Amino acid sequence: MRYIITSLLTAIPGLAQAEVPAVVTDIPPVHALVAQVMGDLGQPTLLLAKGADEHDFQLRPSQAGAVADADLVVWIGPELTPWLDSALAGRPEGAAALALLHAEGTALRAYATPTEDGGTDEHDEHAHDAHADEAAHDGHDHGAEDPHAWLDPDNARSWLGTIAGELSRLDPANAATYAGNARAAADRITATDAEIAALLAPAKGKPIVTFHDAFGYFADHYGLTLAGSIALGDATSPGAARLRDLRSDMAGGAVLCIFPEVQHDPALVSQMAEGTDARIGAALDPVGSSMEPGPEAYEAMLKAIGTAIADCVTRPA
């Protein structure tokens, strides 16, 4: 009987169920946002495995096949996940792909450019010294656009509408559902955003150091003071001059908290903090790679970062 009904639905125009697009995403925050917009209609595929490095990842053959067959690929862009660029290039001409970093409405910030005093200047694109040389070989082109834009909740809210629009273009029969899901997800992010802002109010003006330069969007959004980072990027170890200058700042009491990072050895953080008054916070996870992926992962990632910073800053001396 089920076969007969299915055959009739397929045969009669207008009665067949709409086909929900097959969607592939690069990193957990993007996967979470797409999953919220799709809701009960379908689940996107996440490429980045739990615990994997978003900057340096190799697709398995099955994952490359999923990219090739996807109706839509939603990713941050080649600035963050260049390993996906070549797989996208092999897709049929006109195949849908949405690079969120280049989507209309995305607020971008530049990486801080290392200056001669060891600090940073977001406005001097021509500053160049030993630290700038380190930056060029450290996995990030400082002075260029910072790709960690999902750490600004305003961008995430904007992307929800963009994702809903692209899904609606591919699947107009479910456009109202995508739009409604996007609005509901935006409301949830707004509530989480307000919760984190209240949590981080005591941290404003308190200098902190992170393991690598990934938290500029988060700091800008919540009014935090980043005194620096141990590494400028992920590709190599930080240079001796950078560590010496940062250690000097910490020894002088210019840093309240220093944070290790998921996927990086915390030993260097401990060495930097030893003999100083700087507190060591919980490991930060800017891409949510240590968390269980799913629709709730985006807000959970933001909360975890905010909680770790607030806990360290407000910890009794």
Question: What does pTM read for this prediction?
Answer: 0.85
> β-strands 113-114, 120-121: how paired?
antiparallel
Task: State pLDDT tens for residues 173-184.
Answer: 999 999 999 999
Confidence band (pLDDT; 50, 70, 90) for 55? Answer: confident
Confidence band (pLDDT; 50, 70, 90) for 161? Answer: very high
Give the domain range for residue 100. 15-107+149-193
In a domain, 263, yes or no: no
In a domain, 176, yes or no: yes
In a domain, 210, yes or no: no
Q: Which two tokens stand for residue 276?
A: 């100083």
> β-strands 120-121, 96-99: how paired?
unpaired
Local structure of residue 127 (DSSP, 8 states): -
Number of domains, the chain: 1
Q: Which two tokens stand for residue 51?
A: 């615990």
CA distance 213 to 56: 17
CA distance 219 to 225: 7
Task: Report whether pLDDT(11) > 50.
Answer: no
Cβ pair 284, 261 in contact under 8 A: yes
Per-residue pLDDT, 231? 83
Task: State pLDDT tens for residues 234-257.
Answer: 555 677 887 888 888 888 888 999
In Å, how far are 65, 97, 120 from 115, measured between CA atoms? Answer: 45, 37, 5
Find the angle CA(253)-CA(148)-CA(96) to the nearest 5 degrees. 180
In a domain, 284, yes or no: no
In a domain, 244, yes or no: no
CA distance 108 to 151: 11
Per-residue pLDDT, 94? 82
In a domain, 77, yes or no: yes
Q: Which position has the token pair 């996995």? A: 139
In a domain, 216, yes or no: no
Confidence band (pLDDT; 50, 70, 90) for 53? Answer: confident
Q: Output the domain CATH number for residue 73.
A: 3.40.50.1980
CA distance 230 to 268: 9
In a domain, 231, yes or no: no
Cβ pair 260, 229 in contact under 8 A: no
Mean confidence (pLDDT) of the chain: 85
Phi, psi of 192 (to 5 degrees): -65, -40
Confidence band (pLDDT; 50, 70, 90) for 58? Answer: confident
